[in-house]
Structure 1
Amino acid sequence: MPLNLSHTGPTLILRKSAFERVGLTRTQIDEALNLTADEFRVEGELIAIGPLVGEDTATDLIAQLEDAGLAYYDDFFELSGNWPEWLRLFAMDSRATGSTT
């Protein structure tokens, strides 16, 4: 099932396998950001963290992920949330549809 992405702030999309590979846990992210259940979502092979509030929250989280050994774009990326309210975006792992591109 695709993850609905919010236009109200940045969301980080991570590959679940990369998140687990470096030993990160939801508890670590929750402690750092005090997230609600709706701000840390897992669907299939994707993790969506956001929408993130606060001017430096996304930047700080990106730095933490990179410090943990994840590579921007290969393991995770940021969707800015900077699109009109009338546009709905969804994310899902390409393997969920059988596509490899």
Structure 2
Amino acid sequence: MYLIVIAWIYVALMMAVAEATHANGSVLGAILTFLMYGVGPVALVVYLMGHPGRRRARQAREAQAAAAAADAASAQPDGGGEAAAHAVAPVRKEP
């Protein structure tokens, strides 16, 4: 993917150089050509192509946090955060 990005930036740079050195061209036109044909589209494509990687990283962080929470819950003596049920036997009246 980076080869395409580098090639596109090179082509846009060459277009900007041609714009700047042309008899009717200007430096402002060259700068706008480089920004509008080079930097803008490349930034958009790199951002869009990076979306799956960012999603995988986010899911990995969430899974790691869930695993850490499960480990913390299992480290307690009774295996959970609840009080033990019926710790003392209930007292009953005889009939």
Relative to its length, the structure with more strand (as a share) is 1
Instruction: Considering Cα pairs closer than 8 Å and 6+ residues apart, tell me whether 1 or 2 has the greater RCO.
Output: 1
Q: TM-score of the superposition, structure 2-length normalised?
A: 0.26
Q: TM-score of the superposition, structure 1-length normalised?
A: 0.25
